[in-house]
Structure 1
């Protein structure tokens, strides 16, 4: 499983990267799959991926709540650590934990990429999603 952010990419560049990595399914972990960037909202992205033979899934259960995003990117700050701890709780229980299990099962069968906006995965919640699926310690 890989993570990918679409920041700085066109849809064609994203698709090319996914194809180069052999991705069969892209799982969008944005809470709300909308973008001001053309082609990256749910329907348009799904259509572009489908045309390239890549399945698109959106899993809102793995989204980072809007009020948790601002501090998230700075892991070295107290606010960033708090935001990451809050997200860790989200994916460790209830619907979040079920979503992690579902993603793990999918990744056992298919080549999966996890998508969100940030180019640098260290500043994005998808890093914690991938770590949780891998069963490793969730990064702080």
Structure 2
């Protein structure tokens, strides 16, 4: 299974979509709890339209998003260790969604998407780690 991840922090929608196309991404999996953005082009409907115009499918997996109470706590205390501990607890209840995602990876060139540019400071890295635990040796990841 081949998987990409990306954040749109600091990106412009046209160049960002071009990067996805250049990588051969066929489906973008938005793992924000709420698919809204103050950044033009990155809210759900506009993003879906832009992607579909470029032959990339869009899926919103809100259950894999970071719950708002966990995000708010991170904004207050900047404690990434606590954030990832809490988010990993959240992922314990998302195995069905993770297996559904893995099924997509078997047939599509998928990319997980969230806001943060640095994947190490984003919950998408925890999703990747969980997939690697469920499917050891089967997941190849590249961070765009």
TM range (shorter): 0.7 to 0.9
SS in 1 for 2:111: strand
Aligned to 1:85: 85
Residues 38-72 of structure 1: per-residue CA shift (max 9 Å, x gap): 11000000000000000000011001012212555
Gapped runs of 5+ residues in structure 1?
A: none
Correspondence list, 1:1-140, <5 A: 1-70=3-72, 72=74, 79-93=79-93, 96-135=94-133
Equivalent residues of 2:80, 2:121 under 8 A apart: no
Residue 84 of structure 1 deviates from its aligned partner by 0.7
CA distance 1:122–1:72, change in 2 (3 Å): farther
CA distance 1:65–1:2, change in 2 (3 Å): same
Residue 13 of structure 1 deviates from its aligned partner by 1.3
Residues 82-138 of structure 1: per-residue CA shift (max 9 Å, x gap): 211111111122xx11111111111111100000000000110000111212226xx
Q: TM-score, normalised by structure 1?
A: 0.87
Runs of 4+ in 1 over 6 A off after TM superposition: none
State how far apart, in whole Å, the 1-side matches of 2:74 and 2:117 are: 14
Q: TM-score, normalised by structure 2?
A: 0.84
State how far apart, in whole Å, the 2-side matches of 1:27 and 1:44 are: 15
SS in 1 for 2:113: strand
Equivalent residues of 1:72, 1:81 under 8 A apart: no
Gapped runs of 5+ residues in structure 2?
A: 137-144
In the comparison of the two structures, how many residue pairs are matched?
Answer: 130
State how far apart, in whole Å, the 2-side matches of 1:70 and 1:9 are: 23
State how far apart, in whole Å, the 2-side matches of 1:33 and 1:112 are: 18
